[in-house]
Structure 1
Amino acid sequence: MSEDLITLAVAEPSDVADFKKELQDAFAVAVVDEFGSLPDGPIPSDEDLANAMNAPGAVVLRILCNGQKVGGAVLTIDTTTHHNALDLFFLRVGEQGRGIGLEAWRAIEQRYPETITWQTHTPYFEKRNIHFYVNKCGFRIIEFFNKHHSDPNHPAQDDLPDGDAFQFEKVMRGGGIVA
């Protein structure tokens, strides 16, 4: 991995269709592995993706490995509070397991050094994601959403066969602006 150069670039409007397809393909793998098939329509839905990508403060980034598109991220950056969110994060199918995700996450942290906290979420069955966020990136689980405790900020979880999900937070030490 050390010879690969991982960089970030703002996604171009002409790339949005490919970005969405690659993200939905990457998310589909885990759902099919866990449940055997996809529910009706892609996950996340086109509407949920459009909402995330067009939300106030949204930044859509391409993850590049040696200049080639290998994934992407949708962030919500709050330039007032510096409490930011990683809304969507993916590597194209076949790009996992090479350290690209961790290098991309580090590049995101470096791109937003004033961040006080990062928050993200993932479905409960995504063991690989849970391992990545907790053991590799330094997030901690702060909440568990399920049918008895729904997530008011991410109704898209309802698209999954089982809407259970974890909420993660990473407090940036030594960086950030004190609010």
Structure 2
Amino acid sequence: MTSETITLAEADPAEFAIFKKELQDAFAVAVVDEFGDLPDGPIPSDEVLDGAVKSPGAVALRILCDGRKVGGAVVTIDPVTHRNSLDLFFLKVGEEGRGLGLKAWRAIEDRFPETIAWQTHTPYFEKRNIHFYVNKCGFRIIEFFNKYHSDPNNPEAQDDLPGDGDAFQFEKIMRASSSEL
């Protein structure tokens, strides 16, 4: 781990094109590693990214390391249920491998202390993400989406992923809700 300081700032809508390009470049690394080439168009698509940022409760965040932009995240915050989702999370190409992702995740948890549970997802082939969410951040796998079991909340999500579209759904319980006490 480094002694670099990680902070978060809301992403500037005027710089969203740069944010999207950095995210797509970061996601492309795993796709190229796994499949040798990118399919037609960026991953995730511009339409998926636009939809994520514009969805109700969405907050686009910039991850800053000592004030320098090193990545970003899009979270969806539900102020009623406090069951929130990490929709997109990335470090810019070249910024990974120094512990910045874990520090950034902890900063996100700290920014939303009312969260009861976080959910996120990642493609089956993205072993780095699976390791990160389960072994580093404390998520657990709660569902496996595949051709026999599509995501009921987003059945076309598999079409936006390369390969067979298989993906894991993760959850991290932060605290018991009042109805669970």
**TM-score, normalization: structure 1?**
0.95
Instruction: Could you list the structure 1 runs, at least 4 aligned residues long, displaced by more than 4 angstroms after superposition.
Output: none
- SS of residue in 2 equivalent to 1:89: strand
Report the Cα offset of residue 13 of structure 1.
1.1
- What do residues 42-93 of structure 1 show as CA deviations (whole Å, max 9, x unaligned)? 0110000000000000000000000000000000000000000000000000
Amino acid at match of 2:64: L
Matched, 1:122 2:151: no
Report the Cα offset of residue 153 of structure 1.
2.5
Equivalent residue for 2:104? 104
Report the Cα offset of residue 177 of structure 1.
5.1
Q: 2: distance between equivalents of 1:68 and 1:153? A: 35
Give matches, 1:58-97, under 5 Å. Answer: 58-97=58-97
Q: 2: distance between equivalents of 1:24 and 1:2? A: 26
Report the Cα offset of residue 14 of structure 1.
1.4
Q: 1: distance between equivalents of 2:31 and 2:167? A: 13
Report the Cα offset of residue 156 of structure 1.
2.8
Q: Superposition RMSD on alpha carbons, in Å?
A: 1.2
| 8 A contact 2:52–2:58 mirrored in 1 | yes
Amino acid at match of 1:145: F
Amino acid at match of 2:165: G
Amino acid at match of 1:157: Q
- What do residues 131-159 of structure 1 show as CA deviations (whole Å, max 9, x unaligned)? 00000000000000000101132333322
Question: Number of aligned pairs?
Answer: 177
| 8 A contact 1:39–1:160 mirrored in 2 | no
Q: 1: distance between equivalents of 2:133 and 2:158? A: 18
- SS of residue in 2 equivalent to 1:32: helix
**Percent identical:** 77
Instruction: Give the stretch that moved more between structures: 7-16 or 145-154.
Output: 145-154
Q: 1: distance between equivalents of 2:38 and 2:157? A: 15
